[in-house]
Structure 1
């Protein structure tokens, strides 16, 4: 089933002039530019990144790992691409697990100049549909820093419910941070084995 999922992930228009599509090896330069342009915007919400991360070579290495996980059915990395070919966000299903768990985690970001357009919400809706209909995941989990109200609103608008608080859950921006955990139950069919 995972192999079928990775083969069926296709482009989808999620907003005027913005496509959600699978990450590709040729995206290293565009992704590097996106991370460099949005470094300060993303810094409060991400782990401390080494300088190498903000280079084309660093992104090539990172993409190689993500694409291997994609081929193995363990992750689904997608990017949001504007009409001019600029990457304006990303969303990734990771830790895909079938069997009795049938679950994955989701993480996403949008560029500073693309905020308040509903891109994260549209991308998350699309990913939930793919995860439910193609992979047949039972649930998707997400976490946000306690103060990331914007991301919590996106999750709630996409049908995620808060399931608790996780103290010192993630090492973000140089320190262990408390997070609010969310989940969305996608269906109640028997699990994919």
Structure 2
């Protein structure tokens, strides 16, 4: 059985993160909004990491990566738009297509929940997913998130919102 480690994103992750994002670009863009083409370069990823780490320093984001036993990045997870006074944040994660179905999204989301409580003392998490992203909806439900029904019922929206009270 493979082992995986969730750790905070670091400035030294440029090459590994670029490989992860490039290898999975088509897969990710079928599940979530596409990144700008300028992202897919060493400088683009370096700027991305610096932005995330700067946002972490001011308490707005908490970025993580998931590594396999060889140290390769196979997933990402973030607490984003952290609002400590209101006690809430949004969660986001992306898993390498080759590793889907192995519990990594659940591992990532459980880690985010734990960090939201232990590090940030948050009381509510939000996730937004495309309505046809059934896999993420199952992961969110498995981890205790509940669909926000009035948002779900709006047929003009392609997304749905899930909420977790901590």
Q: TM-score, normalization: structure 2?
A: 0.93
- Name which structure has the greater RCO, CA cutoff 8 Å, separation 6+: 1
- Aligned pairs for 1:22-171 within 5 A: 22-99=8-85, 101-164=86-149, 165=151
Could you report, residue by residue, the CA deviation over 1:90-127 in whole angstroms, capped at 9, with x for unpaired residues?
0000111122x210000101001001000010111121
1:168/1:179 contact within 8 Å kept: no
- When the two chains are superposed, the root-mean-square deviation of aligned CA atoms in Å is 1.7
SS at match of 2:119: helix
Q: 1:46 Cα shift?
A: 2.6
Q: 1:48 Cα shift?
A: 2.9
Unaligned runs of at least 5 residues, structure 2: none
The runs of at least 4 aligned residues of structure 1 exceeding 3 Å deviation read 166-169
Task: Please say which of residues 40-49 and 119-128 is displaced more in the overlay.
Answer: 40-49
Count of aligned residue pairs for this structure pair: 164
Matched, 1:179 2:159: yes
Unaligned runs of at least 5 residues, structure 1: 1-14, 170-176, 187-193
Structure 1 pair 45–168 and aligned structure 2 pair: CA distance change class (3 A): farther
Q: TM-score, normalization: structure 1?
A: 0.80
Task: Please say which of residues 56-65 and 131-140 is displaced more in the overlay.
Answer: 131-140
Structure 2: how far apart are the matches of 1:107 and 1:60? Answer: 20
Tell me which protein shows more strand as a share of its residues.
Answer: 1
